[in-house]
Amino acid sequence: MSDLHRQDRIDELVQKLSAMLTVTCGECGEPFRRMSDNIQDNYMWACADMARKLQDLILGTSKANRTTAENDHA
């Protein structure tokens, strides 16, 4: 995956996760908290999956950047 594609994917996931989490807290979260436990669990599971994907993309980017920097200094 190119760095540009990776950054676009990170930006996309950040926007989606932010939107999904916005409806879970504060006044916006009241309807969410009235949903069944199963729906809430599945929704938060989807959020956690997105967070893991973000972590993988970010750490993968950091690891790739470190490797490139190390190779540049060699």
Domain ranges of the chain: 3-62
Q: E strands, the chain, where?
A: none
Question: What's the CA gap between 23 and 9, in Å, rounded?
Answer: 22
Q: In the predicted model, is pLDDT for residue 66 greater than 80?
A: no
Question: What's the CA gap between 13 and 21, in Å, rounded?
Answer: 12
Higher pLDDT, 48 or 68: 48
Q: What is the pLDDT of residues 24-62, one digit of tens each?
A: 999 999 999 999 999 999 999 999 999 999 999 999 866
Token pair for 39: 């729906």
What confidence score (pLDDT) does residue 71 get? 61
What confidence score (pLDDT) does residue 51 get? 97
